[in-house]
Structure 1
């Protein structure tokens, strides 16, 4: 069971900049031994463009790890399996601050399992989302259309959040959005 630490659960639209903000904060806070950034295990090859750092595994390995209770959280999205390892529970038990990238669809389950969860909703304007999705060269045009359609289904998500949460608008200046995320993570 999770410990007394703080869990920061980043989520948002495809293309909102979750990975960019996660990586920026991780680089800036790397010397703080009480702040941990957990990478996701994903059944997708690592992107060549560096936008999404994760641990790439096969579907078979994911299934094996799932059966071994390796994952504290897991979900399926866009045909891929995602997981966060149970190491976050050890970090939380040590009273660390733990940052992860989660899923909006998994949020309610995560909130039940981790009542100390602090949701961080990353948002960006629709035109910017489209531009970012195209520039990362990961999805085909039809897949981009599906992601944007799915994003629209979560437009009222902030109204569903029943916990401590922060909304970060990531429209233009990476520095401003990153600074806000770092302030949220470091706030006592």
Structure 2
């Protein structure tokens, strides 16, 4: 992946949290809440599974993902649950233009993301255990065993890189509350 070339004048907001924590819903609500003049973009992810209407993602075959990776098309990429995820290098151009870019990231990949973008602001989306269990079961994507594994993984600690700014965002209640908090957060670097 290599380090960044040139100066970045924008900001990167790295949203992460367990499956079922509502990241996609939060990011959709964020996009809907942005005003025309807000210099904020939510980056889509490239993923090796079909995407659904609730997420900002582009489905790629594993072969196409690998080809794009070899061509250097991803600023960030990781593997989780047998799938490949990536965020395109277009985010570098957006930040160079002074935009705040919001990405749907991975807790396990935070260290690599922070190494590439040392000024990133990590946002950990959290939900109460019983809320997460209900959401995962309602999605119907996985077996009971897979849901149990995701629930166990959700409570595991992750490494926070030294100097990485972290905000915890509770999304256990109404989506509007968490979305408003995220909107205030992404607007903060603009006013700073």
Q: TM-score, normalised by structure 2?
A: 0.90
2:45 counterpart of 1:44: no
Indicate the SS of the match to 2:16.
strand
Q: How far off its partner does 1:145 sit?
A: 1.4
State the match for 1:122 in structure 2: 125
Report how many residues are paired: 184
1:81-121 residue CA offsets vs partner (Å, 9 max, x unmatched): 00000000000111110000000000011111001100111
> Please, which runs of 5 or more residues in structure 1 have no aligned partner?
none
Kept in 1, the 8 Å contact 2:110–2:160? The answer is: no
Residue 9 (structure 2) pairs with residue 4 (structure 1):
yes
**What aligned pairs does 1:138-149 form with structure 2 within 5 A after superposition?**
138-149=141-152
Distance in structure 2 (CA, Å) of the matches to 1:30 and 1:96: 14
1:1-188 matches, within 5 Å, as 1=4, 3-29=8-34, 31-32=36-37, 34-47=39-52, 50-154=53-157, 157=158, 162-187=163-188, 188=191
**Aligned-residue offset at 1:149:** 1.7
What TM-score, normalized to structure 1? Answer: 0.92
CA positional deviation for 1:152: 2.1
| Structure 2, gaps ≥5 residues long | none
